[in-house]
Amino acid sequence: MAATLAADVHLGSTDKSLERLAVQKRVLIVDDSPAQVKLIHGLLEREGYSPIDLNDPRRVEETIVSQRPNLILLDVVMPERNGFQVCRELKASSEFGAIPVILVTSKDTASDRFWGEQQGADGYVTKPFTREDLLRAVRRFV
């Protein structure tokens, strides 16, 4: 589904910037910490991905609609709306459910992982992660 979305954009427009966006894999980074978002952004950007930054988990759906990401990296512990909630609601949605979601969190116990899987997460990366840890998880999907 993620690949289809990218292809739709590519085929539906002749605009050069949109074409470039379609080729680049867009990864939505949702984390209330600007420092964490900036770091992940930097790590992904130099690998050719097109990162989309979001600090407010309440705006995930509208950002997906406007940016059409191929993958979502989702923090868990956030104010207002935690990552488990976001993941569960995305996966229950017919519109967004096919987009892969990787939980990126410092919650590293077996029960945390289990709970993340229960919410429908496709991957789980624990903080602190190395560049390779993150890229390995991302490359599974895009």
**Measured between alpha carbons, how far is 115 from 5 in angstroms, rounded to an integer?**
28
131 in contact with other proteins (CB under 8 A): yes
Q: Which of residues 53-72 bind other proteins (CB under 8 A)?
A: none
**Measured between alpha carbons, how far is 139 from 93 in angstroms, rounded to an integer?**
24
**Measured between alpha carbons, how far is 59 from 31 in angstroms, rounded to an integer?**
11
The window from 2-10, 34-42, 65-73, 91-99 that contacts other proteins (CB under 8 A) reads 34-42
Q: Which of residues 13-32 bind other proteins (CB under 8 A)?
A: 31-32
128 in contact with other proteins (CB under 8 A): yes
Q: How far is the CB of 35 from other proteins (least distance, A)?
A: 5
**Measured between alpha carbons, how far is 97 from 45 in angstroms, rounded to an integer?**
25
Question: In the block, which residue shows the tokens 């895009």?
Answer: 142
Q: How many CA atoms lie within 13 A of 61 on its CB side?
A: 15
Q: Which of 5, 9, 39, 142 binds other proteins (CB under 8 A)?
A: 39
User: For binding to other proteins (CB under 8 A), which residues are involved?
Assistant: 31-33, 35-36, 39-40, 42-43, 46, 75-82, 84-85, 105-112, 115, 126-131
